[in-house]
Amino acid sequence: PSPSMGFSFATSDAQSAIFKPHSPTSPSPRCGLSAVCPSDRFAVHIRSGAANIVGPKICFDGKTIMSHVLNNVGPGLNVVVADGEDGVVVKHGYLDMQDGKDILDYLKSIKPGLIVLVASFGDVTKKMTPEMREIFVGMGSTLIRSVKQRDSWVFAGRAGTEIKSLFEKKTNIYEGWPEIVEVGGCFPRSPDGSVF
């Protein structure tokens, strides 16, 4: 009898671990990220609105907290505030930057240590005061001072830290309504997280 034609592969333990199928018990990435965040980080994905048509979306710790589909977004700054230790969402809503009423009080009420996620929707500068901008600087924003009319802006920071956040972007295209801008990644639970 002739020997059968076949192939055999020798694999090391490390290689065989790579090729194993995904186990249903192993964690999967959250908030649309490509990798699983370590236990000392929260999965975060923030997307701005586009013009005044496509609403923003904020996903935190694997849950979509605000989106057009959930019908809980609005014009201005869409904000999610969460506890930095256990990930519990303390409050969320949108600050209508057209009237500016009570916005400063709302921002000042965010306690130090809380995580703040922000997505713009439409023009956010009409009632944006220098004092409001400085509150965001105190949360780690480096771009808020330069946000202009019709800019799209997304941001994740921590109240009272003043440590530069890497979770921030803005865009504006030739004075017109900008495209969607987004950030995502693994946000540290503790204020001294090395991602900053």
For the entire predicted model, the pTM comes to 0.82
Q: What is the pLDDT of residues 6-22, one digit of tens each?
A: 333 333 344 434 444 44
Going 131 to 132 to 134 to 139, the CA torsion angle's sign is: positive
Amino acid occupying residue 124? V
17 within some domain: no
Domain span at residue 122?
A: 29-188
> What is the structure's pLDDT at 192?
63
2 within some domain: no
85 within some domain: yes
Number of structural domains, the chain?
1
93 within some domain: yes
163 within some domain: yes
Q: What is the pLDDT of residues 57-90, one digit of tens each?
A: 999 999 999 999 999 999 999 999 999 889 999 9
Q: What is the pLDDT of residues 103-160, one digit of tens each?
A: 999 999 999 999 999 999 988 888 899 999 999 999 999 999 999 988 899 999 999 9
Q: What is the pLDDT of residues 181-194, one digit of tens each?
A: 999 999 999 876 54
194 within some domain: no
Tokens matching residue 130: 């220098």
> What is the structure's pLDDT at 59?
98
Residue linked to tokens 């809980």: 72
193 within some domain: no
Complete edge-to-edge strand list for the sheet that includes strand 152-158:
89-95, 76-82, 115-121, 152-158, 168-171
> What is the structure's pLDDT at 3?
41
Question: Alpha carbon of 191 to those of 49, 59, 140, 142, 172: distances in Å?
Answer: 28, 20, 11, 17, 31
43 within some domain: yes
Under the banding of pLDDT at 50, 70 and 90, the label for residue 1 is: very low
> Is 93 buried (19+), middle (13-18) or exposed (0-12) by CB count in 10 A?
middle
